[in-house]
Amino acid sequence: MSDALVLSDVRHSFGRTLALDNAQCRVRRGTVHALLGENGAGKSTLMRVAFGLLSADGGRLEVDGRPVHFRSSADAIAAGIGMVHQHFLLVPALTATENVALGGRGLLHRARAVARVKAFADRSGLSADPSMRVDQMTVGAQQRLEILRALAHDSRVLILDEPTAVLTPEEGMSLLRWVRGFVDGGGTAILITHKLREALAIADDVTVLRRGRTVLSRPRVEVDEAMLVEAVTGDAASESALALPAPARRPTEPVLALDKIDLIDGRGVTRLRDASLEVYAGEVVGVVGVEGSGQRELLRILAGRLRPTRGRVIAPRRVGFVPEDRLADALVPEMTLTENLVLAEAGSARGRLDWRAATERTAALLVSADVRADGPSALARELSGGNQQKFVVARERARSDAALVVEHPTRGLDIRASARVWDELLRAAREQQLAVVVYSPDLDEVRAIADRVVVCFAGNVRAMEGGTAGSDRASLGRALLGVN
């Protein structure tokens, strides 16, 4: 049996971050190939290279045994590769038929195009209403349409990026059944997923990426759950740069508390279910969870930026919040650091602003938080990512004397800058006695700093027993991946 798609020694970096480090992936024709790994392991990046959306810095690509070079996704489509993106690339205001027809030439015969969509829908078993606009479809229907569109372009290799993440369990099941059928009919499917169970249930072959490298590549029959957990999570845990002792005795009253929280979003999807959490002064609680498991919502409720549908929240009046997208949500890149410091009280300030005092406060903060900048009048965008983040963390520490909520603080930072940011958070808890809640997709990071870890999976929040010591990497990894 020949190979449908082979990626060899693929390298790619985003700025200074190495996303793919000689990654390998061999996909046999007529199989379901599961591509596993944690967030940031390089799965999507590798597949974006395979689909021509990214041009790799190095490595080789073969389709059906022939070496190819894709300059754009149009080349990949022509070579018979289709990709279903995690965030769908459909035009909301157009109908299903029009979305499928997009990118063609010449005349657009409406009746013929509709018939074609119908035919593909019938043949593939993916139901679709050809004349319905995308913005009126359910998420499941949009995904089926994305697949239909790939099939309509004669895709023989289908890449599905986290296809079940946005679906209800029933929709997810039926999608996986469909994928099996597609492969049995001669197609090839690559399934990017975090969910081990899903991979084990459907895949013929499994490849695991960790930190941009291929760490496992075997037929399904040769692996079991334990092997995969180990491969996905690895063993190497980095050491904490700081060894400040955990609080000896827990205070009686929590600073932050959620009691039986439910959150239902605008589309009626339950994002959090019966979630409870207590955070005490002086401790760091780590939150882990794969993308879309409810951790983002959990943090925003704690920070007072989102109101739950049901349940009780206890929080101090002011909570420091470090959002993930710091350049969009935490800083104004074109303003000075002094102005960015005053930003924190912009909503409540009255009358005249004392810029001289603010400049002095900024200068003091730059020293105390070790932010490297050309003084308080430097523009926020002139700082490196690490210094921007240290500045934001220091500002948010000053905002509240009780609690600090932090979302993926090391996104885009190199190891050294990350370590400094973690130090800063640990200090906030130990020296300033703040209740600190941190989300990070990196298990090692969380384990290194958090006193306790809670896991989000599909809207459920579960505390790991026995603190970080008790939550060894394997059991944490299993909880993260929805394996009990």
Figure out which of the listed residues 35, 331, 404, 454 binds other proteins, where binding follows CB under 8 A: 331
Which DSSP helix (H) or strand (E) runs through 425? helix 415-430
CB atoms within 10 A of CB 16: 9
- Distance, CA of 181 to CA of 175 (rounded, Å): 10
Task: Find the angle CA(372)-CA(373)-CA(378) to the nearest 5 degrees.
Answer: 165
Minimum Å gap between C-beta 76 and other proteins is: 10
Q: Is 339 in the site for other proteins (CB under 8 A)?
A: yes
Figure out which of the listed residues 335, 363, 398, 402 binds other proteins, where binding follows CB under 8 A: 335
Which residue, 100 or 175, has its beta carbon nearer to other proteins? 100
Figure out which of the listed residues 39, 238, 276, 433 binds other proteins, where binding follows CB under 8 A: 39
Minimum Å gap between C-beta 473 and other proteins is: 21
Q: Is 329 in the site for other proteins (CB under 8 A)?
A: yes
Figure out which of the listed residues 163, 187, 323, 459 binds other proteins, where binding follows CB under 8 A: 323
Figure out which of the listed residues 7, 34, 42, 319 binds other proteins, where binding follows CB under 8 A: 42
Residue given tokens 């929040």 in the structure block: 461
Q: Is 328 in the site for other proteins (CB under 8 A)?
A: yes
Determine the interface stretch with other proteins among 107-115, 244-252, 429-437, 476-484 (rule: CB under 8 A).
107-115
DSSP one-letter string for 252-318: SS-SEEEEEEEEE-TTS-EEEEEEEEEE-TT-EEEEE--TTSSHHHHHHHHTTSS--SEEEEE--S-
Which residue, 441 or 477, has its beta carbon nearer to other proteins? 441
- Strand pairing partners for 437? 285, 405
Figure out which of the listed residues 115, 314, 346, 357 binds other proteins, where binding follows CB under 8 A: 346
Q: Is 17 in the site for other proteins (CB under 8 A)?
A: yes
Show contacts with other proteins in window 212-231 (CB under 8 A): 212
CB atoms within 10 A of CB 256: 25
Binding-site size, other proteins (CB under 8 A)? 67
Cβ(390)–Cβ(420) under 8 Å? yes
Structure tokens at 298: 């959990």
Determine the interface stretch with other proteins among 40-48, 240-248, 422-430, 432-440 (rule: CB under 8 A).
40-48
- Distance, CA of 96 to CA of 104 (rounded, Å): 15
Q: Is 91 in the site for other proteins (CB under 8 A)?
A: yes
Structure tokens at 290: 């794969």
- Distance, CA of 300 to CA of 293 (rounded, Å): 14
- Distance, CA of 44 to CA of 35 (rounded, Å): 9
Structure tokens at 373: 């900048």
Show contacts with other proteins in window 387-426 (CB under 8 A): 411-412
Minimum Å gap between C-beta 282 and other proteins is: 25
Q: Is 351 in the site for other proteins (CB under 8 A)?
A: yes
Q: Is 110 in the site for other proteins (CB under 8 A)?
A: yes
Q: Is 344 in the site for other proteins (CB under 8 A)?
A: yes
Q: Is 109 in the site for other proteins (CB under 8 A)?
A: yes
Q: Is 266 in the site for other proteins (CB under 8 A)?
A: no
Minimum Å gap between C-beta 350 and other proteins is: 6
Minimum Å gap between C-beta 45 and other proteins is: 4
Structure tokens at 306: 């989102």
Which DSSP helix (H) or strand (E) runs through 24? strand 17-28
Which residue, 300 or 452, has its beta carbon nearer to other proteins? 300
Which residue, 257 or 327, has its beta carbon nearer to other proteins? 327
Q: Is 282 in the site for other proteins (CB under 8 A)?
A: no
Which residue, 31 or 73, has its beta carbon nearer to other proteins? 73
Helix 473-480 with 225-233: angle, nearest 10 deg: 100
162 backbone dihedrals φ, ψ, rounded to 5° = 45, 55
Q: Is 332 in the site for other proteins (CB under 8 A)?
A: yes
DSSP one-letter string for 48-71: HHHTTSS--SEEEEEETTEE---S
- Residues with Cβ within 8 Å of residue 133, at least 6 apart in sequence: 92, 93, 94, 95
Binding mask 43-72 for other proteins (x = CB under 8 A): xxx--x----xx-----------------x
Cβ(304)–Cβ(319) under 8 Å? yes
Residue given tokens 């007072």 in the structure block: 304
- Distance, CA of 381 to CA of 335 (rounded, Å): 8
Q: Is 118 in the site for other proteins (CB under 8 A)?
A: no
Minimum Å gap between C-beta 152 and other proteins is: 11
Helix (H, G, I), strand (E, B) or coil at 74: helix
Q: Site residues (CB under 8 A) for other proteins? A: 12, 14-15, 17, 19-20, 39-40, 42-45, 48, 53-54, 72-74, 77, 85, 89-94, 98, 101-110, 135, 212, 291, 305, 321, 323, 328-335, 339, 342-353, 355, 411-412
